Amino acid sequence: MVRARSFAARARSRKATTGTLLAGLATAVLTAAAVLTTGAANASQEHPEGPAKPAGPAASAGTTPAPSPHTSAVPAHALTGYWQNFNNGATVQKLKDVDDAYDIIAVAFADTTGQPGAVTFNLDPAVGYASADDFKADIKTKQAAGKSVIISVGGEKGTVSVNDDASAKNFADSINKLMDEYGFNGVDIDLENGLNSTYMTQALKAVHAAHSDVVVTMAPQTVDMQSPQNEYFKTALAIKDFLTVVNMQYYNSGSMNGCDGKVYSQGSVDFLTGLACIQLEGGLDPSQVGIGVPASSRAAGSGYVAPSVVNAALDCLTQGNNCGSFKPSKTYPGLRGAMAWSTNWDASSGNEFAGQVGAHVHALP
């Protein structure tokens, strides 16, 4: 993620390098006027591609899988953070050292394989784990504390393509295998280079069929959620019965339309509230909407806002207080919360985001 994904930093080699992505022209869907977005560069990291692994078992037809023993219920108001499986200059952390304020920890990122749609996971030596078993033990430690640990797929340079029946099956089988092997609670979809709603929906439903308690999060870019007709939005609505939260990336974006048809610039409370309103009025439940932002000014190319701005947006959306010029026509007290790219960048800034936004999220009525 972000990303600084837009939410995404990735490791594709053992040495992570920062890349940029130009978010292109976005067509304004809520007014007749076309809006030119000036997408900023995504701070990203590449990471190693591992060998393909055999697909995991799928759920038998007609059966309902029991919840996993490592199930961690996501709080009504939750803080999500991405944990970097690479070193890009932010604080290098073990998973167990992630601030306790984070309720959902997305491990960034899964690696592609030679099999279309399939992913695997390779620990980067840079993060300091002696073995995969030590990493798995840290997952269990977090889960014992009530946290959900999920595997994130994508990032700015993620090239996973799920665009037919075969790749959808490969994706689902490999995610199910990683959940079984590592104990992940679920999956985060952070594909920034295109998404096919038909086949991604098919794949995620297959994951849900095998793991009824799966935690599914998404981190689309702003342009991806301007209309319910966009592929990301369509996917979110298609899995609404088990979708946990969409933490859209409110950064590396440029100006975008809000739900009132007005254009808002990133880095403002109006940008956060006006764009969240599109999702809230476009069919998602408030519990499925979160605000995704950089944890520090160094975490993204643009769009950083102080924790106080995030908290004001949360207040505006849930209670109608502390709004900017845009005030939604109603409140959404069930709003899920917020997301940070990343826990590592947050640690580099003294865990300011976790301390201020995390406390505010958990104090929401």
Q: Distance (Å, rounded) from C-alpha 185 to C-alpha 183?
A: 6
CB 83 within 8 A of CB 343: yes
Considering the candidates 192, 231, 281, 352, report the single residue annotated as catalytic.
192
CB 215 within 8 A of CB 104: yes
- Please list the residues that pair with 50 across neighbouring strands: none
192 catalytically annotated: yes
Identify the three-state secondary structure at position 49: coil
E-state strands within the chain? 2-4, 7-8, 78-84, 104-108, 111-112, 119-120, 148-155, 186-191, 215-218, 245-249, 256-257, 263-264, 289-294, 337-341
CB 291 within 8 A of CB 253: no
Q: Distance (Å, rounded) from C-alpha 218 to C-alpha 23?
A: 18
Q: Which residues carry out catalysis?
A: 192
